[in-house]
Amino acid sequence: MDGNGRWANRGGRMRLRGHEAGVDSVRDVTTAAAEWGIKNLTLYAFSVENWSRPQREVRGLMRFLKRFLDEELPTLLDNGVRLLGIGRLQDLPGDVLEKLRSVEQKTKHCTTMTLRLALSYGGRQEIVDAVRQIAREAQEGRLEPDQVDIKAIASRLYHPDMPDPDLIIRSAGELRLSNFLLWEASYSEFYFTETLWPDFRRKNLQIALQAYAERVRRFGRVLENDPAAEVQS
């Protein structure tokens, strides 16, 4: 969800005002996704690298996160949205983690859509944590080296039951993955937009989904009747 700071700077506002405005986009996009039958939505809210930002900004972001969890609970419940956190959640301030766990518990019965907030998250860190768990199990004699395969690593990621993303949207003209879902995104489609996150709403999501719907996903295969396939005889 990039562009909050640039959105604020363009209007001569403080950076935190941009993050605050971005919450409106989160609400609109999440509600639209639930209405349109999307079953899983993951928002990259705070990366492990974001801890190195100025402490004033970090504290402000944590306040916004806690307030978001408090104020948006009724919206989540009204739309049947289950909320979960992924990442090194133990790094969050105690009161924020407590609020997150509370909302997770209160929405656990919701089945329309699962909203995951990536918090203190990093794709490399997720893989490292999975490998550490495998190493511990191997050291304890509970796992043989030959048992370590793709399935073994995937089952030890933060949320093993989370399906790989079909579509990853990058806002604010960013053209990189930024350490997001590195393992899970191996066959994801990408959509790039110049729109800054505080301006990204359901109409922008709809455009991204329409672009995705026009693509052919091959997953390394040659599909039958595929006009892009090169046939040799």
State pLDDT tens for residues 127-170: 999 999 999 999 999 999 999 999 999 999 999 999 999 999 99
- Strand pairing partners for 43? 117
By percentage, how much of the chain surpasses pLDDT 70?
A: 94
- The pTM assigned to this predicted structure is 0.90
* CA 40 – CA 34 distance, rounded (Å): 9
Domains of the chain: 4-121+164-213 (3.40.1180.10)
The string of pLDDT tens digits covering residues 81-93 is 999 999 999 999 9
The string of pLDDT tens digits covering residues 60-104 is 999 999 999 999 999 999 999 999 999 999 999 999 999 999 999
Which residue, 28, 95, 108, is CA-closest to 65? Answer: 95
* Residue spans of beta strands (DSSP E) within 75-174: 81-86, 113-121, 167-170
User: What amino acid positions are annotated as catalytic residues?
Assistant: 2, 50
Check pLDDT > 80 for residue 11: yes
By percentage, how much of the chain surpasses pLDDT 90?
A: 83
